[in-house]
Amino acid sequence: MASHWEEFYSTNPQPVNFENNCTLLKNFCESHKKNNQRIVLVTSGGTTVPLEHNTVRFVDNFSGGLRGAASAEYFLDQGYSVIFLHRFNSIIPFTRHFNHLKMLDMLVLQKNEKNVSISIKPDSVDMLAPILVKYQRAQEDNKMLYINFTTLSDYFWLLRACCEYLKDIGANALLYLAAAVSDFFVPSSQMATHKLPSDGVPEIHLQLVPKLLVPIVSLWVPHAFVVSFKLETDESVLISKATGAIKKYKHKLVIGNMLHTRRTRVVFVTEGSNYEIKLTEEQISNGVEIENIIVKNVVSVHTKFIEGTF
Amino acid sequence: MASHWEEFYSTNPQPVNFENNCTLLKNFCESHKKNNQRIVLVTSGGTTVPLEHNTVRFVDNFSGGLRGAASAEYFLDQGYSVIFLHRFNSIIPFTRHFNHLKMLDMLVLQKNEKNVSISIKPDSVDMLAPILVKYQRAQEDNKMLYINFTTLSDYFWLLRACCEYLKDIGANALLYLAAAVSDFFVPSSQMATHKLPSDGVPEIHLQLVPKLLVPIVSLWVPHAFVVSFKLETDESVLISKATGAIKKYKHKLVIGNMLHTRRTRVVFVTEGSNYEIKLTEEQISNGVEIENIIVKNVVSVHTKFIEGTF
C-alpha cells in the first residue's frame, strides 16, 4: 500500500541545503511575479531510492534528463522564466550540446613571452556562440534557476517548496513534471544501517511511493497548469494509463511516450481527447528536437488556460 | 548462490560497440608494448543492474568516480599509459576540475565587424591552462584510452577484453580496480520484459554476482599486478574483509576505505601486513588529494613487483 504523502514528509528529513534553496526559490518567484511573468517548473532526471542508510546501493530510474534540459531551453525561447529542478549531474540546458571532453578539445592555448591565453578554436565558435549568447542572456536576466536533487526524498521536499512559492503566481505558473520519479521506495524504518553484506542475497522490502499529483493539484498549486509525463514500454497500455491519470489526479495534460520512440513521438492526453505529435522524416533530418514542438504546444494550451478557454 | 563467471558470459550478450572497443584496446596495448611501457587499467564509477529488459529501473552503486578519475591523472604523471574504463557520464580526468556551467561561465564572447571569437576569461586561465596542457599532452602521446560502460554486463565484457590485451604486457600491467561493481543482479531469465507496473509492489529476485578477481588473477592476467578496492561503512569489518579478500583471490593489494572518510584515509592491505595512509591537516588545507599519495605508493610497490622484490 502507498504511504500517505504527509507520512512521507514526517518520516523523511529535509535535504541538506534545503533552507538555502527555499530562499533562492522565494526570491526567484517574487521577482518574476512583479512583472506578471509566466514561470515554468521543469523537473528533470531520475530520483534515487537508497537501500541503506549509509548509502552505497540505491535503485535508480532510467533518465538522462535530455527531455527536461531541452524543454527548459525552449521555454526560455518562449519567454518563460524557468525553475530547473534536476537530478544532480544529469543533463542540463546549454551544456547538453557538447560533452566535457569535447569542450577541452575545442580549446587552444596561446603563449607569448608575457602572456598565456586560451580561446575556442575558430571552427567550434559557430556552434558554441549562439548557445553562449542564450546562456549569458538567461543569466543576466535571472531567467533560469538551477536546483538539484538526488534521492526521492530530496525531490519530494524540493517539489513541495517549489509549489509553495509558485502558488502566488496563480495561472501563470506551469508545472512540467518530466522527472522520472521512483514508484517504490524502502521506508527508513526498514532500511539497513550499513552496506548490505555482499556474501548473501538481501531481501529488499519495497513500498509504493505516494503520488504527489494528489496534493499538487488539490492543495498546493490549485490554480496552476499542471502537465505530467507517462513513460511506458508497452504501447497497448499507454493511452489508457494516461487517461486514467487525468481522471484520477484531475490535472490538465498528460504527455505519454514510449521508451524506444520517445525522441520522435509523444501523445498529448487531456480530459476527453488525445492527439499525437510525431516528428516527420524531414524534421528529423533537419535536427528538429521534439521538445521544441512539445513546448510550443504546451505553451499554446497554457495560454488558453490563462485566458479561461481551455 | 553466485553463478559461475563463465555462465554469466554465456547468458549476458556482448554490449553494443564491443568489437570497436576491442580494436581500440588492442591497438593501445600493442603500441605501448613496443616501448616497454607500463600500462594501468583504472576502472571507475558504478555499474548498474537493470530490473527490466526494457530498462526503466535499475539498481545502481554509489560512486561518482572521483577516485578513479583523479588516480588516472596521477598515473599519467608517473609515466604510465592509462586505460580508463569508466561508467558513462561519471567523473573523468581533467574535466573533473570544473563542472559544466562553470565552463560556460569562464567564456567570454568578442564581436567585431568581421568576426566572432570566444575566449577564456583571463582570471580563469591560471586554473585551466595547466589542466589543458596535461590533457593535450596525453592526447598527443596517445597515453589515455577512454572506454565506458553502464551495466554490470557491459563492465564484465569490457574488463575481460582489457585483460585479454593486457596479458601480453606481463608484469608491466597494473590493474587498479576502483569501480563500484554490483554484488547482486537480476538474471536475464527472471527479468520482467516491460516496465514493472507502478500500482503494485514488485518482487525483485537478486542473485550474487560472480567475483571476477578469481579468473583475473588465476587465468586472464596471471603476471599482472592486481589492486582491488574495498568500501565499507562499518569500520570494525574493514581490515578483516580486506585480508579475507587477499587470501581468497590471491592478488597483491587491497585498498580499504570507509564511505565517510574515503577522501582523507585509506588502508593498504597486503598478505601479512597493512598500513594506513592518512592526509595530514596541512595536506588537506593545501588541497593535496589522497589519490596522489595512493598512486605514488601503488607505483612504488608495482616497481618492486616488476623487480621481483615484492
Q: Does residue B291 lie within any of the structural domains?
A: no
* Pairwise pLDDT comparison (A190 vs A34), residue with the higher score: A34
Which parts of chain B sit beneath pLDDT 70? 1-3, 54-55, 100-101, 194-201
Residues of B in Cβ contact (< 8 Å) with A198: 183, 208
Question: Nearest by CB to A118, which of B52, B54, B132?
Answer: B132
A113 phi and psi angles, rounded to 5 deg: -60, -35
Tell me how close the Cα of B190 comes to any Cα of chain A, in angstroms: 15
Cα B127 to the chain's mean position, in Å?
25
d(CA A197, CA A188): 18
pLDDT at B186: 83
Question: Nearest by CB to B92, which of A51, A101, A204?
Answer: A101
Contact: B119, A117; criterion CB under 8 Å: yes
pLDDT at A137: 96
d(CA B168, CA B26): 10
Range(s) of the domain holding residue B178: 5-93+125-223
Nearest CA in chain B to A207: B201
Q: Does residue B75 lie within any of the structural domains?
A: yes
pLDDT surpassing 60 at residue A2: no
C-alpha distances out from residue B260 to A136, A208, B263, B265, Å: 37, 30, 8, 10
d(CA A206, CA A118): 52
Question: For residue B212, what are the β-bridge partners?
Answer: none
- Coil/strand/helix, residue B175: strand
Tell me how close the Cα of A228 comes to any Cα of chain B, in angstroms: 15
Count CA within 13 A, CB hemisphere, residue B170: 10
DSSP code, position B151 = B
Q: Does residue B144 lie within any of the structural domains?
A: yes
CATH number (domain holding residue B146): 3.40.50.10300
Count CA within 13 A, CB hemisphere, residue B286: 8
pLDDT at A196: 65
Question: Nearest by CB to B116, which of A64, A129, A139?
Answer: A129
Residues of A in Cβ contact (< 8 Å) with B238: none
Contact B267, B238 (CB under 8 A): yes
Q: Does residue B120 lie within any of the structural domains?
A: no
Q: Does residue A178 lie within any of the structural domains?
A: yes
DSSP code, position A280 = -
pLDDT at A86: 97
Helix axes A122-140, A66-77, angle to 10 degrees: 70
Contact: A95, B94; criterion CB under 8 Å: no
User: Which grid coordinates are listed for A33?
Assistant: 511575479
pLDDT surpassing 90 at residue A98: no
Contact A256, A238 (CB under 8 A): yes
Contact: B60, A57; criterion CB under 8 Å: yes
Q: Does residue B310 lie within any of the structural domains?
A: no
Residues of B in Cβ contact (< 8 Å) with A201: 184, 206-208
Contact: A60, B48; criterion CB under 8 Å: yes
Nearest CA in chain B to A51: B59
Tell me how close the Cα of B178 comes to any Cα of chain A, in angstroms: 14
- Coil/strand/helix, residue B144: strand
Tell me the DSSP string of B89-124: TS--TTGGGS-HHHHHHTEEEEE-SS-EEEEE-HHH
Q: What confidence category does residue A244 fall into, taking pLDDT thresholds of 50, 70 and 90?
A: very high
| CA atoms B136, B137, B142, B148: torsion sign | negative
Contact: A196, B207; criterion CB under 8 Å: no
Q: What confidence category does residue A197 fall into, taking pLDDT thresholds of 50, 70 and 90?
A: low
pLDDT at B3: 59
The count of structural domains within chain B is 1
Interface test with B, best of A47, A62, A109 (most B CBs within 10 A): A62
pLDDT surpassing 90 at residue A50: no
Q: Which of A302, A293, A240 is nearest to A269 (CA)?
A: A240
Strand segments (E) across chain A: 39-44, 48-50, 57-61, 81-87, 107-111, 116-120, 144-149, 173-177, 184-185, 207-208, 225-232, 253-258, 265-270, 273-278
Mean pLDDT of A44-49: 93
Contact B254, B228 (CB under 8 A): yes
Q: Which residues contact B139 (CB under 8 A, 6 or more apart)?
A: A105
Interface test with A, best of B119, B207, B232, B241 (most A CBs within 10 A): B119
pLDDT at B264: 95
Contact B61, B34 (CB under 8 A): no
* Pairwise pLDDT comparison (B205 vs A48), residue with the higher score: A48
Mode of pairing for the β-strands spanning B39-44 and B81-87: parallel
Q: Does residue A260 lie within any of the structural domains?
A: no
pLDDT at A1: 46
CB contacts < 8 A (A, B): 160
Contact B12, B210 (CB under 8 A): no
Q: B20: exposed, middle or buried (C-beta count within 10 Å: 0-12, 13-18, 19+)?
A: exposed
**Residue B192: what residue type?**
A
The sheet carrying B116-120 orders its strands as A107-111, A116-120, B116-120, B107-111
Question: Nearest by CB to B61, which of A57, A125, A259?
Answer: A57
Nearest CA in chain A to B135: A104
| Other CB atoms within 10 A of residue A63 CB | 21
Question: Nearest by CB to A116, which of B129, B136, B194?
Answer: B129
Report H helices in chain B: 5-11, 18-34, 66-77, 100-105, 122-140, 152-166, 213-215, 235-249, 281-285, 290-307
Q: Does residue B270 lie within any of the structural domains?
A: no
Tell me the DSSP string of A40-106: EEEEESBPEEESBSS-SEEEEE---SHHHHHHHHHHHHTT-EEEEEEETTS--TTGGGS-HHHHHHT
Residues of B in Cβ contact (< 8 Å) with A116: 125, 129
